[in-house]
Amino acid sequence: DQQVKQNSPSLSVQEGRISILNCDYTNSMFDYFLWYKKYPAEGPTFLISISSIKDKNEDGRFTVFLNKSAKHLSLHIVPSQPGDSAVYFCAASAGGNTDKLIFGTGTRLQVFP
Amino acid sequence: DGGITQSPKYLFRKEGQNVTLSCEQNLNHDAMYWYRQDPGQGLRLIYYSQIVNDFQKGDIAEGYSVSREKKESFPLTVTSAQKNPTAFYLCASSILAGAETQYFGPGTRLLVL
């Protein structure tokens, strides 16, 4: 029972263009969402988060959008850079308990010149 | 240089053997976590500890044990009861239990001989 789904296992984008990574969730109790970035053989690093009271959060080139009615969030990276090539995981938590994060399966982003 | 260290990077386990994965942090974080990552799956929570001398089971605790005798250290033992131990194991910490962001170590890959 996958509560957090990233249906696209991979995405390929040209440098300078926008990358859009998608994440869907099924648990309506989720109220906090995070995106992590992971390079091979390294641990994930936190990228950006959003609370369910917001529908958008922006940090430099990274913007996360939350559509609660559709139970969908997306991460926009613009402009995309080759160094953004990594696996991106979305994660969610419920009831303010961020000790128990539920992760998606990840999307591998490749940014080519 | 603050951070989370995990050792070893690769670990081999024989059938029926217990092995212990090390996780140390010098970030003065209260909370620590163990996750497992399998190919094509998201990270799944094994155990977490909100404070020294206390820990709780995550979603897939069977076949694993932990201890939290010191704030800096949260070792994970993969016991012989864990029938499918081959995976990438990630340790994380956060400044407080339920804090927004978890910081991850580089991971340990466990292989069964």
User: What is B93-106 written as a DSSP string?
Assistant: EESSTT-S--EE--
Splitting chain B (113 residues) into consecutive groups of 10 residues, what average pLDDT does each group show? 87 90 95 92 91 94 97 96 92 83 92 86
The confidence score (pLDDT) of residue B1 equals 61
What residues of B are in contact with residue A95 (Cβ under 8 Å)? none
Chain A: residues touching B (Cβ < 8 Å): 2, 4, 6, 9, 32, 34, 36, 41-46, 49, 89, 91, 96-106
Which residues of chain A have a pLDDT value below 70?
Answer: 1, 96-98
Q: Across the interface, do A49 and B101 touch by the CB < 8 Å criterion?
A: yes
The confidence score (pLDDT) of residue A98 equals 67
Kindly provide the b/e burial profile for residues A23-47, where b requires at least 16 CB atoms within 10 angstroms of the residue's own CB. Answer: bbbeeeebbbbbbbbbeeeebbebb
SS3 A47: strand
The confidence score (pLDDT) of residue A91 equals 93
3-state helix, strand, coil in chain A (%, to 5): 5, 55, 40
Cβ–Cβ contact B97 with A under 8 A: yes
